Chains A and B, each alone.
Chain A
Amino acid sequence: EAQVTQNPRYLITVTGKKLTVTCSQNMNHEYMSWYRQDPGLGLRQIYYSMNVEVTDKGDVPEGYKVSRKEKRNFPLILESPSPNQTSLYFCASSLLPGQPQHFGDGTRLSIL
Chain B
Amino acid sequence: AQRVTQPEKLLSVFKGAPVELKCNYSYSGSPELFWYVQYSRQRLQLLLRHISRESIKGFTADLNKGETSFHLKKPFAQEEDSAMYYCALRWRAGNNRKLIWGLGTSLAVNP
Contact = CB atoms under 8 A, between A and B. Distances in A.
Interface stretch (A11-19, A39-47, A61-69, A77-85): A39-47
Contact of A43 (B43, B96, B97, B104): B104
Interface in B1-55: 9, 32, 34, 42-46, 49
B70 interface: no
Contacts of B32: 98
A45 to B, nearest CB: 8
B43 A42 contact: no
B90 A98 contact: yes
Contacts of A99: 90
A40 B103 contact: yes
Given A42-B103, A42-B104, A43-B101, A104 B96 contact: no
A96 to B, nearest CB: 7
B44 A98 contact: no
Contact of B97 (A40, A90, A96, A103): A96
B99 A98 contact: yes
Most buried by A among B42, B49, B104: B104
Interface residues of A, number: 19
Q: What is the interface residue range for chain B against chain A? A: 20 to 34
B98 interface: yes
Contacts of A105: 42-43
A40 B96 CA distance: 28
Nearest to A90: B44
Contacts of B103: 40-42
Most buried by A among B44, B46, B98: B44
Most buried by A among B9, B34, B49, B96: B96
Contact of B101 (A42, A97, A103): A42
Given A40-B9, A97-B97, A97-B99, 4 more contacts: A40-B103, A45-B101, A92-B44, A100-B46
6 contacts: A41-B103, A42-B86, A42-B102, A42-B103, A96-B97, A97-B96
Interface of A: 40-45, 50, 90, 92, 96-101, 103-106
